[in-house]
Amino acid sequence: MRFNHVLRFAAGAVALAVVATGCGGGSDKTASQHAADGKLTIGIKYDQPGLGLRNKDGSFSGFDVDVAKYVADKLGVKPENITFKEAPTPQRETLIQNGQVDYIVGTYSITDKRKEKVDFAGPYYQTGQSLLVRSDNTDITGVESLNGNKKLCSVKGSTPAQNVKDKYAKDVQLQEYDTYSLCVEALKSGSVDAVTTDDTILRGFAAQSPGAMKVVGAPFTVEKYGIGVKKGDTESRKKINDAIEAMITSGAWKAALEKNFAGTGFEIPAPPTVDRY
């Protein structure tokens, strides 16, 4: 009896271990190693028009998507062998650390705090934080007019949300949602007065709903977008940096911006300098 009980316990433990391993879905291989195998899993945003968007037909579009594909191609991986995985802002570091993605191209601002957990290639783009309001709003004209306890929406765990907490908490009520698309819906319904994040993200949302919303004021921060990779993966970071520089010098970088922001009045900035730290 006791022997049978031990056998059943051992079998159960093995089964639990198998289930636990299957649920993680991660890998210990680096991005370069997966690329050598011919496949990559890349984290992107699914809800940012012009940058990272999952379309109704299941395809993906946006500047970040084009950057992700260009880098993958330079690593030797064709588009059909890329698996795109949604990378919500609060989960990005975890996805990289657990090996659930090889790298993330998802409006991922490079910060010292994030560099404690992951490494960054790039930057591949530089922008700044702005404000999105309804088109009929005349009270909010820029960050200097954020007063009177207005309701301002941003995303949990994002750099813009932290900026508001650090600098403007006395003037506004910060509402933190899981995604920027939810913030935009709250803005349209009147639940919040403004949405704050990077200028390019806001312009993409404004272009998606012509006449409904507008970007106001000048950008009031500097945000450098990087490609997140596993901490200590120097080889992959170097190869991705090479790919970013190739995209910029070849003209593909500018072409991707022109394609994804056509008709929005967006002025293409000078490309950033890749940081070889």
CATH number at residue 109: 3.40.190.10
Instruction: Indicate if the pLDDT at residue 168 is higher than 50.
Output: yes
Instruction: Indicate if the pLDDT at residue 147 is higher than 90.
Output: no
Residues 206, 118 within the same domain: no
Per-residue pLDDT, 14: 38
**222's tokens:** 């500097």
**Residue 268 falls within a domain, yes or no?**
no
**Residue 49 falls within a domain, yes or no?**
yes
Containing structural domain, residue 122? 28-127+224-260
Residues 232, 242 within the same domain: yes
Residues 60, 45 within the same domain: yes
**Residue 273 falls within a domain, yes or no?**
no
Residue range 81-134, pLDDT digits in tens: 999 999 999 999 999 999 999 999 999 999 999 999 999 999 999 999 999 999
User: Where among 216, 245, 272 does a domain terminate?
Assistant: 216
- Cβ pair 132, 193 in contact under 8 A: no
Per-residue pLDDT, 164: 81
pLDDT category at 166 given cuts 50, 70, 90 is confident
Residues 119, 41 within the same domain: yes
Instruction: Indicate if the pLDDT at residue 246 is higher than 50.
Output: yes
Q: Is 79 exposed, middle or buried (0-12, 13-18, 19+ CB in 10 A)?
A: exposed
How far, in Å, CA of 47 to CA of 49, rounded? 6
Residues of the chain above pLDDT 70, percent: 90
Per-residue pLDDT, 25: 59
Residues 119, 35 within the same domain: yes
Residue 185 vs residues 154, 188, 206, 263: alpha-carbon distances, Å: 12, 5, 12, 23
Number of domains in the chain: 2
Per-residue pLDDT, 169: 66
Per-residue pLDDT, 167: 83
Per-residue pLDDT, 5: 47
Residues 38, 98 within the same domain: yes
Taking alpha carbons only, the member of 90, 75, 76 closest to residue 43 is 90
Residues 143, 123 within the same domain: no
